[in-house]
Amino acid sequence: MPPLPREGRSTAWIRDRLDALAGGDVDWRSGRALSLAYSAGPEVLALTDEVLARFQSTNALNVAAFPSLRVMQAEIVEMSGELLHLPEDGGGFVTSGGTESILCAVKAARGLARARGNTSPEMVLPTSAHAAFEKAAADYDVRSVRVPVRADFRADPEAMRAALNDRTALVVASAPAYPQGVVDPIAEIAAAAAARGLPMHVDACMGGVTLPMLERLGHAVPPFDFRVAGVTSMSVDLHKYGYTAKGTSVILYRSRELRRHQTFVTDNWLGGLYGSAAILGTRSGGPIAAAWAVMQHLGIDGYLRLTEAARRATEELVAGLRALPEIRLLAEPDTTLVAFACDGMGSDSAIDAFAVGDALWRRGWVCDQQKPPPSLHCTVNAIHAGKIDALLAALRDSLDEVRSTKSEGPGRSYAIVEG
């Protein structure tokens, strides 16, 4: 089949082809994906689809032409900032995802470092911090200084303090870190950064909505947001536990002075003044409008309900995993992320975790496969309420299969690049 047909296809052909292509996709709507997709149920999904369609062809590059997007972006930032106690003189932007938010934070820190005369900027971050920081380091020529985490997978504040020097441009911690689902000791790390006058970024892409809701629900939540004096920026993915359309995240700054180092403005071409708030230029207003709509629709009560459901499902999963002798939890989950290895009976009796992940995949369940150590990762969200018993049954069957066949799995990547 040629890439572009000479004659256009019928809409019926397009629909049939899409159905065939999607036949191999994971059924995330039924709650069988514990990675990549998040669902608050059919009502929210229907609202999302409606608003996406209405605003998909609007362009957030120029909000003078689409003032509705200016209002919605400002209100998204305001709602997100309120959850995280952003000061009144703070600000932020809506971005396309966690990676773009992280890129923006690193770019802003590099700009501040350059303004201070630092021509060889570095950022200090724990080995658990997201891979997007490595992308930012490569894109913006900022050296990544990775510091080993403690035995509990949390960042080591003293080791990070010792890694700071005159070239440090940014200090990073996570709330929670994606791989093992634990919140770093933010207050201690932020104090070390503040003592040197350095910006401190908290990657709350996974926890920026969940942690405030858990706190309201009475769970013990360590200090992690702008209430910690040394925290200067935060990233929050609304398309994760905000349950909004894919393509919406927020980058927040304690001060507009730091935020301005993120933006780009030029008139060095024949088209006039060009300004870009974040990384993208043209971007659809659809995800922005859909995120605004979902946040307005759910409100605090809706997010409390969804967070409680996700946390309850997480606790059910953890209890079920602890009942399996082959399973070893890597850490006690602080939010709704669960990581486990299959060596609970000792290294001599270890079962290949990636083979177990493949066996789960064949049974219709998708978990991340990660290392080190070889382990499986579950991003539990509200859609998984009532699904944990079925997941555990599939896991038991998968463990039995891999034990009997002694099979091994090559491991699936969290993200890949294809030509």
- pLDDT 10s digits, 8-29: 999 999 999 999 999 888 888 8
pLDDT > 90: percent of the chain? 82
> Do 248 and 304 have their domain in common?
no
Q: Hunting for tokens 């009144």 — which residue is that?
A: 88
Residues 317 and 380 sit within 8 Å (Cβ to Cβ): yes
> Do 282 and 316 have their domain in common?
no
Is 324 inside any structural domain? yes
Residues 125 and 322 sit within 8 Å (Cβ to Cβ): no
pLDDT grade for 262, boundaries at 50, 70 and 90:
confident
> Do 271 and 330 have their domain in common?
no
> Do 230 and 361 have their domain in common?
no
162-166, 283-287, 403-407: least confident range: 403-407
Torsion of CA 323, 329, 331, 334, to 10 degrees: -50
> Do 131 and 190 have their domain in common?
yes
pLDDT grade for 347, boundaries at 50, 70 and 90:
low
Token pair, residue 360, equals 């789960």
Q: Where are the alpha helices (DSSP H) in 116-228?
A: 132-140, 157-163, 186-195, 210-216
**What are the strands of the beta sheet with 143-147, ordered from one edge?**
91-95, 249-253, 233-237, 200-203, 168-174, 122-126, 143-147
Could you tell me which residue, 162 or 350, shows the higher pLDDT? 162
Assess whether pLDDT exceeds 50 at residue 103.
yes
In a 3-state reduction of DSSP, which class is residue 169? Answer: strand
Is 101 inside any structural domain? yes
Residue 317: give its domain's CATH number: 3.90.1150.10
For residue 256, what pLDDT is reported?
A: 87
Torsion of CA 362, 365, 370, 374, to 10 degrees: -60
Is 408 inside any structural domain? no
> Do 315 and 289 have their domain in common?
no
3-class SS letters over 384-418? HCCCHHHHHHHHHHHHHHHHHHCCCCCCCCCCCCC
For residue 176, what pLDDT is reported?
A: 97
Residues 251 and 73 sit within 8 Å (Cβ to Cβ): no
For residue 278, what pLDDT is reported?
A: 86
For residue 405, what pLDDT is reported?
A: 85
> Do 111 and 210 have their domain in common?
yes
For residue 206, what pLDDT is reported?
A: 97
> Do 333 and 268 have their domain in common?
no
For residue 413, what pLDDT is reported?
A: 55
What range defines the domain where residue 326 resides? 299-397
Assess whether pLDDT exceeds 50 at residue 419.
no
pTM, rounded to two decimals: 0.93
Is 7 inside any structural domain? no
Task: Say how far apart CA 71 and CA 51 lie, in whole Å.
Answer: 15
Could you tell me which residue, 129 or 65, shows the higher pLDDT? 129
Q: Which of 242, 271, 296 is the endpoint of a domain?
A: 296
> Do 280 and 376 have their domain in common?
no
For residue 417, what pLDDT is reported?
A: 46
State how far the alpha carbon of 282 is from the alpha carbons of 59, 100, 138, 276, in Å: 6, 14, 23, 9
Q: Which of 241, 268, 296 is the endpoint of a domain?
A: 296
- pLDDT 10s digits, 298-336: 999 999 999 999 999 999 999 999 999 999 999 999 999
> Do 89 and 132 have their domain in common?
yes
Contacts of 386 (CB under 8 A, 6+ apart): 31, 313
For residue 315, what pLDDT is reported?
A: 97
State how far the alpha carbon of 204 is from the alpha carbons of 88, 264, 330, 392, in Å: 20, 24, 20, 28
Q: Tell me phi and psi for residue 70, to 5 degrees.
A: -60, -45
Q: Averaged over 170-199, what is the pLDDT? A: 97
Assess whether pLDDT exceeds 50 at residue 236.
yes
Task: Give the chain's count of helices (H) and strands (E).
Answer: 12, 13
For residue 1, what pLDDT is reported?
A: 54
102-106, 204-208, 401-405: least confident range: 401-405
> Do 60 and 149 have their domain in common?
yes
Task: Say how far apart CA 366 and CA 239 lie, in whole Å.
Answer: 19
- In the chain, the number of structural domains is 2
> Do 100 and 176 have their domain in common?
yes
Taking all residues of the chain, what is their mean pLDDT, rounded to a whole number?
93
Is 33 inside any structural domain? no
- pLDDT 10s digits, 83-95: 999 999 999 999 9
- pLDDT 10s digits, 116-136: 999 999 999 999 999 999 999
Residues 207 and 183 sit within 8 Å (Cβ to Cβ): yes
